[in-house]
Amino acid sequence: MLEQRLQLLNASVAELRLAQGSLGELKNVEPQNPLLVPVGGGVFMNARLGDISKVIVGIGADVSVEMGYDKAVEDIVGRLQEMEKAQASVQEQLGQIYAQLETHQGMAERLSAEIQNATQGG
């Protein structure tokens, strides 16, 4: 379960970093300049940059709101920080679980060897 959660967090972090980078790059593009917009599957469409003073931002549960550019960047940075904290927490939990598993596996192997020795020697 933790591994699945970590995969979802990794995907969310990657997506938020992409959004952050894209907004940062678009800030320097002149309005009406041509752009190639990815539509999936390695397919791109030609488009022209419009006004980016307002940005539509998804806030969850299939709900999006319009925000000013700076507020949208701030929102993305905040969510990215939250996701990175959650990501680090899950990675730490997984590390602890893996360490416990290794300890228990070593104990089980020793116990199995002791049982085998006792059965063979008895």
Q: What is the pLDDT of residues 59-98, one digit of tens each?
A: 889 999 999 999 999 999 999 999 999 999 999 999 999 8
Distance of CA 114 to the CA centre of its chain: 45
Res. 118: pLDDT tops 90? no
The per-residue pLDDT for 89 is 94
The span from the CA of 24 to the CA of 18, in Å, is 10
Quickly tell me which residue has 């469409």 as its tokens. 45
The per-residue pLDDT for 117 is 83
pTM: 0.72
The per-residue pLDDT for 121 is 66
Res. 51: pLDDT tops 90? no
**φ and ψ of 30, to 5 deg:** -70, 140
3-state secondary structure of 104: helix
Domains located in the chain, CATH noted:
2-121 (1.10.287.370)
pLDDT grade for 55, boundaries at 50, 70 and 90: very high
Q: Is residue 65 a contact partner of residue 56, using CB atoms and an 8 Å limit? A: yes
pLDDT grade for 41, boundaries at 50, 70 and 90: very high
Residue 35 host element (H or E): strand 34-40
Res. 122: pLDDT tops 60? no
